[in-house]
Chain A
C-alpha cells in the first residue's frame, strides 16, 4: 500500500544542488532512517516526501501514486517535527484532534480516536492540559498523537528526539520502536544520531552532501560499509583509520603497513590496490586487543588519556608514527599515561578503503 519510491530525486536552490540524484526504495511497513551529518540533505529529503519542499526533478511515489505535485494534505502522510509544532493555544485534546477537526469529523468520532491515541501513547491524564504545562517528552507524545489519529499511510519523523535530554531520548526511542511494531505503518525517521539509526531502523540510508552513500540493514552497514564515510559514521567510538602503504597486493589479499603497524594482510572488499600505493585501513576500537607482550603486538604506541567507564575503557593512544587512535577495551583496566602499549587485532575484522584523496 504505502511503498515509497524515490527515483533520481533532485533539489536545487538556484545554482546550489542540495539533493543530487537520490534513489531510495522503502517497502510497505518498513522503518527507514535517513542519517547523516548536518547539512547532508536528510531533512530536506524528508520535507520533500512530506510535500513541504518542491522536488526539482525526479519522481517520488507513495503507494502507486506519483506525488511530486500533490500538496502535503493529499499525500496521506503525517509528520512529527523536532520542535514538536504543537499549537500552544489548544489543549492536548484539541491538538491531537486537530486533523479531525479540520476534516470536520463528528465529536463522537474525535473523542473515540483521541482516546485511542491517548491509550497507545499512555497520555490519558494529560488530555486537558495545555502545551505550556507539559515537559518536552510529553509535548513530543502529543505531536505523535496528532500524527497517529489520522491513520496516515506514512509517518515522517524529523529529528523528533533532538530536543530531549539523554534519558528521555532513550525512553522515547523505545516508544517509537514499539509504536512502529504496533501500527506496522511505513515510517521515515531523520536523525543525525547513529545510535537512533542503528536501534530503530529496518533500513538505514546514509547521506552525505546530498548523495546516498549506502542503503542497508543496520548490521549490514556496520559490518560491510562501502566507504570510509559510512564506516566512520556508524559505531561509537567511531572507527580508526590508519594511513597505510600497500606492501603487496596479491589477488584478494592485500598486505599493508605503516610506521606504527607491522605488515598485516587483509582481504580486500573492493577497489584497486597496487604495491607501493596508499590505502586506508579501518579498525573499530572494540576490535583492538591489548597485547600482553608489547613485542608480540602488531600496532605500537603509548597510552594517552584513558576514560574508565566501568564496563569498558576508552584509551587514546599515541601511535609510534605520531598519529592517534582510540581503543575500547572491554574491561576496566588501569593504564598509566605514557606507558608503551601494543595491540593485536583480527585482520578479518579490518576494512580496507582507498586512500583519502589529498
Chain B
C-alpha cells in the first residue's frame, strides 16, 4: 500500500519543490547557521577565517559568579564607615589580574545584597546582557497576563448581540493593523516629556498637580511606558482569538446554566472559562513568544536606554550582530532566546494540559 506515495512521487516533489526550497533557504538554513555560528568567532565582515571556539560565546554571555566580601576593617578591627555606609574592598582587586580569582577575570558587578555583616556581590561577564534578560522577563511577566486578561475582557464585551457591535470590534482591532513601528513613532509623541499628549492629559485632569514626566527618558518609567504601548497595540489581536474561542461554546450551555440559577460570575467560572481552555493555552503561548521577541518598539523609541533600562534580548542580538558586527555573539543570543522560549512553551503546555 506504500505504492501510492511512490507512484506520484516525482510530480509531488516537483510541485512541493519550490516551496520546500524556499522554506529550507529562509527558515531551516538560517536556523542551522545561527546554531553553527554561535560556536565560532565569525564576524559579519572579517578578513580572518572563522574559528571554532566551542562554548566561549555562551560563557561570555552567561558567565555569572558571586563574591562575598567582609567589610574593610580599620586597625582596631572595626568596620570602616564613610558617609554612613560600610566600606567594602574594591571589586577591581578581584576581577583584574588577580591570580587567586581567575574565574572572575573581566567580570563586573551586576548587583549585590547584604548577608549579615558581609556583602555578596553578583558578578556577570556581560552585565548589559543580564539586564536585557531581566528586562525581557519583566516585559513578558507583565504583558502576558495583562494583555491576555484585557483581551479576554474586551472579547467578553464584544461577544454580545448588540446593535453596532461590529463598530467596537473594528475599533479595538485597529491598532493591530497598524505597524508596530508606526505605533511606536506615534506613542513617542504621546509620551513626549514636555508637551506630550499623556502629560497634557494628566496635567489637565489633575489641574496641573502632576508635573510633566519624560516617560521614555526616565529609567524608572521607560520600560513601563513601552509595556503599556505594546499591550495597547496587540490586545485587539488576542481579543479576536478569545472571541473565536467564545463563539465555539454552545449557547445551550449558557441556557442550561441560567436555568440552574448560575450568576454571571458562576457562568463565567463554570461554563465560559473551562470552554476557553484551549484558547487560553494558545493565547498565552503566542503572547509569551511575541513578548520575548520585543525589538521594534525599543529600536524606534529608546534604543535600549536610558541607562540600559530598556535593553532586551532581541535588541541585544541585533545590536551585537549588526551594530558590533559580532555575528557569532548575536547568534548565540538568538539560540539562548530560542531555548528560553521553547522551555517556557513546553512548560506552559504541560501546566495547562488536560488532566485526565
Contacts and interface: CB of A to CB of B under 8 A. Distances in A.
B319 to A, nearest CB: 47
Contact of A77 (B259, B270, B275): B259
B270 A98 contact: yes
A340 interface: no
Interface in A80-117: 81, 83, 85-90, 98-99, 101-103
Contacts of A83: 250, 252
B261 to A, nearest CB: 4
A108 to B, nearest CB: 20
B259 A87 contact: no
Nearest to A74: B261
Contacts of A51: 258-259
Interface of A: 50-52, 71-73, 77-79, 81, 83, 85-90, 98-99, 101-103, 146, 150
A72 B253 contact: no
B259 A79 contact: yes
Given A52-B255, A81-B255, A87-B253, A99 B274 contact: no
Which of B250, B257, B259, B261 neighbours the largest number of chain A CB atoms within 10 Å of its CB? Answer: B259
Contacts of B275: 88-89
A102 B263 CA distance: 8
A220 to B, nearest CB: 32
A150 B259 CA distance: 11
Given A85-B256, A99-B260, 4 more contacts: A73-B259, A79-B255, A90-B274, A102-B260
A146 B260 contact: yes
Interface string B224-259: 000000000000000000000000001011011111
Nearest to B253: A85
A197 to B, nearest CB: 23
A71 B256 CA distance: 13
Interface residues of B, number: 18
B261 A85 contact: no
Contact of A102 (B252, B262, B274, B277): B262
Contacts of B262: 73, 102
Contacts of B253: 85, 87
Nearest to B261: A73
Contacts of B277: 89
B277 to A, nearest CB: 7
B68 to A, nearest CB: 51
Nearest to A98: B260
Given A83-B250, A85-B250, A87-B270, A71 B258 contact: yes
Interface in B252-290: 252-253, 255-263, 266, 270-271, 274-275, 277
Contact of B255 (A85, A90, A103): A85
Nearest to A80: B256
Nearest to A79: B259
A101 B266 CA distance: 10
A81 B261 contact: no
8 closest Cβ pairs, A-B complex: A73-B261, A89-B274, A85-B256, A99-B260, A85-B252, A72-B259, A72-B258, A102-B262
Given A83-B252, A87-B271, A73 B258 contact: yes
A72 B270 CA distance: 18
B250 A102 contact: no
Contacts of A99: 260-261
A89 B263 CA distance: 19
B264 to A, nearest CB: 12
Contacts of A150: 260
Contacts of B263: 102
A162 to B, nearest CB: 13
Interface in B167-186: none
Interface in B202-234: none
Nearest to B256: A85
A117 to B, nearest CB: 14
B261 A102 contact: yes
A78 B250 CA distance: 18
A301 B256 CA distance: 54
Contact of B260 (A52, A73, A81): A73
B259 A102 contact: no
